[in-house]
Structure 1
């Protein structure tokens, strides 16, 4: 593994202390590993980088499984591995879509690493879609969350089937009371980077914002207008509240994405995708979005509803100031609300300016292109198509994701109308395609 090349591809200048210690512990011993580190500290790379060096690229069998509590973390972890350019093949398995489609992908792609939710991986193992015999490494990311979400029985079942596993790597943002016996840990190295005296990193500033009305939506929109183009996550405690806030903000001209557990899978993935590629700058979510989202450069966390407990607060705020960045967290307090007692950090009052600009639209917008991997389309083909047929410069093209049957691409918002006009009815690699905005 050429670590420097991988870090260059991931646009990472240097690894932090936790990541360096984790890589050394995995690569320089045969012990099982437990890594405890705060949300946003980069735990995905802490296990992925050494895993890349352990997995045999010449062996086409599944050699490592990474259990995660939700599909979003599975997808994002898989994306990190692909962006690393290690040459290893991987796939995601999770509920909410046909297991038959995943089985077909597994047969076609021969993944060496599988990112999966416990229930879906258990299903594939039971059906023989994934062979257990070559699997040497079991990673459980957000182990505490997996237990909290009730995956104990599924995880126990999985580990009992993977009798040839040689190493276990567990990662968590909280210090678990104990590791259940079913994990079957051997000699263990514990890496604890949690600071018991620090709720959130000191690079995050906390503010309280007072709303004169019990319905805080007007205060919210004024606060968001004061942020300009900055990216923000707004947390609410209920699904219907998320939908109401998103609808009202959208009508007022904000570029928003709504995210909660009641949405269909594709709507959740579209919302997350548009926020992560900069096509929307306001992400409105329940606490589902406080865990498992690895999106850098989030400027602001807004608590429209107060966190239900300290753990919720810590995970919400952990979405900003990831790695070494800085961020701000705002608590909107109604007439009868006060700051929760469990918050022991300094909180300043934030006064919203009276002279506010209109909602700022992000610089990018997401388009759908109706061709993908099954049509032998690559990222290079998409760039060529957008430049030659759509009249774009390379600097006006952002993130591109080529899926099996379609492609998503982020393009410069001011160029959208020109692009749609010029590409109407045009061909990519000799095949007519559809190009439209993802709403």
Structure 2
């Protein structure tokens, strides 16, 4: 077996990283001593390098077949890992496979097997079934952010993939939460467990606080790069003024980031529409003032971005309280210009998150919100709306998402690829024997 002729120092230099963090160092050591390693660490803590570095010594440069498979829950993560590996400068080939990517392109990339394949469960399983992946030579398996794969319902596909790999000797599992149960089909016997999750007093909420430093006084370009880096995750961006909210939202939209804005100058219907779109997944970014810092019950918000620094500790706490709710994890990120100083009530030693210059635009949401000009006062309820869209709009149950019925109007999430057809079908139809205006929510 011939190993790669590249040092860790050279890889770090290629990545423009000064040194490994404690979690990455611990992962390197553990992976030399154990065949199975479970690494628990928060999103954005450097897990990609923590598992990539231990994988490299396991690769035989003379072997022209695929030797390592990395399973991830989302295309953005597959793209990120591929980008990081290429920046490492090993000279070895890596290919990413994920839904939304042309399968023909991936098949061409797999003709000459890459040393490493990274991809989402559904697409990897598809390639295995088609015989496009040389499964017999894969000896290293990584499941990155496996907790998210379970959340997204990929367990059957992951089980199929693993059952198709007869030669795996090394397994590395990463997760951002302790709560995830490790299925038996993973074969993680006698696994070494490394726990680097946040250990603050509020550990039940697992809130990670980070900072991003912008080279520019106007931080808006850095905000755009940060949102691209974070990917298609539910995010609230807090600004201190309404004018800043409008400007920031408009800029992000022009750059291709689907978002909604929310502040006190909006009419109630506009506010309801913005929050509904954010709740139901029609958009994953909400730009807002501190109006949204209290009282909003929106589950599964992954990131809080403090575009402007909070004026008081109370504001800081309430903004951050929108994420890491119940047992969920969350991250609050303070976006600083080079001249800004953290307030005294914020830990001065918080971790800095390095944002790449170029990250792909987040995947567009799969839902669109329809506005229905009828509500509770018109004796219209959720069951009426589901029945109407199913019978008259010919939608299946899975094509109808969250429904919110207000007094005089309602909102309903519909699969984006079904919207044009359903609007055409229901154009002349009635709800409760009444002709009602239905359109894409503004």
Q: TM-score, normalised by structure 2?
A: 0.53
| Alpha-carbon contact 2:34-2:192 (below 8 Å) kept | no
- CA deviations over 1:182-205 (Å, ceiling 9, x no partner): 111122000001134354345559
- For 1:173, the equivalent position in structure 2 comes to 176
Aligned pair 1:25/2:35, yes or no? no
Offset of residue 167 of structure 1: 1.3
* Pairing partner for 1:9 from 14, 35, 38: 14
Offset of residue 53 of structure 1: 1.7
Aligned pair 1:157/2:144, yes or no? no
Aligned pair 1:200/2:207, yes or no? yes
Q: Which has the greater radius of gyration?
A: 2
Distance change >3 Å, CA 82–CA 248, structure 1 → 2: same
- For 1:94, the equivalent position in structure 2 comes to 98
Offset of residue 89 of structure 1: 0.8
Whole-angstrom CA distance in 2 between matches of 1:106 and 1:310: 42
Offset of residue 255 of structure 1: 7.6
- For 1:46, the equivalent position in structure 2 comes to 50
Which ranges in structure 1 are unaligned for 5 or more consecutive residues?
206-224, 240-244, 262-284, 292-299, 322-326, 345-349, 351-397, 402-439
Distance change >3 Å, CA 309–CA 52, structure 1 → 2: farther
Distance change >3 Å, CA 253–CA 90, structure 1 → 2: closer
Whole-angstrom CA distance in 2 between matches of 1:303 and 1:92: 40
Aligned pair 1:144/2:152, yes or no? no
**SS of the counterpart of 1:171?**
strand
- For 2:342, the equivalent position in structure 1 comes to none
- CA deviations over 1:275-323 (Å, ceiling 9, x no partner): xxxxxxxxxx9999x99xxxxxxxx99899669879844x414x899xx
| Alpha-carbon contact 2:38-2:172 (below 8 Å) kept | yes
- For 1:316, the equivalent position in structure 2 comes to 303
**SS of the counterpart of 1:66?**
strand
Whole-angstrom CA distance in 1 between matches of 2:94 and 2:250: 42
**SS of the counterpart of 1:133?**
helix
Whole-angstrom CA distance in 2 between matches of 1:89 and 1:24: 25
- For 2:255, the equivalent position in structure 1 comes to 257
* Pairing partner for 1:116 from 102, 119, 123: 119
| Alpha-carbon contact 2:34-2:191 (below 8 Å) kept | no
**SS of the counterpart of 2:303?**
helix
Whole-angstrom CA distance in 2 between matches of 1:338 and 1:141: 29
Which ranges in structure 2 are unaligned for 5 or more consecutive residues?
1-5, 236-242, 260-277, 327-333, 335-355, 360-442
Offset of residue 81 of structure 1: 0.4
List, as ranges, runs of 4+ consecutive aligned residues in structure 1 with deviation greater than 2 Å.
Answer: 195-205, 225-239, 247-261, 285-288, 300-313, 327-331, 337-344, 398-401
Whole-angstrom CA distance in 2 between matches of 1:328 and 1:36: 30
- For 1:79, the equivalent position in structure 2 comes to 83
| Alpha-carbon contact 2:234-2:303 (below 8 Å) kept | no
- CA deviations over 1:86-111 (Å, ceiling 9, x no partner): 11111010111332221111114x20
Distance change >3 Å, CA 124–CA 328, structure 1 → 2: farther
Whole-angstrom CA distance in 1 between matches of 2:319 and 2:85: 43
Whole-angstrom CA distance in 2 between matches of 1:330 and 1:45: 36
- Alpha-carbon RMSD across the aligned residues, in angstroms, is 4.8
- CA deviations over 1:107-163 (Å, ceiling 9, x no partner): 14x201001100110011111100110000110111000110010000000000012
**SS of the counterpart of 1:36?**
strand
Offset of residue 228 of structure 1: 4.5
| Alpha-carbon contact 1:65-1:114 (below 8 Å) kept | yes
Offset of residue 178 of structure 1: 1.9
Aligned residues: 283
Distance change >3 Å, CA 12–CA 339, structure 1 → 2: closer
**SS of the counterpart of 1:75?**
helix
- CA deviations over 1:198-235 (Å, ceiling 9, x no partner): 54345559xxxxxxxxxxxxxxxxxxx99544622679
Q: TM-score, normalised by structure 1?
A: 0.54
- For 1:66, the equivalent position in structure 2 comes to 70
Distance change >3 Å, CA 260–CA 112, structure 1 → 2: farther
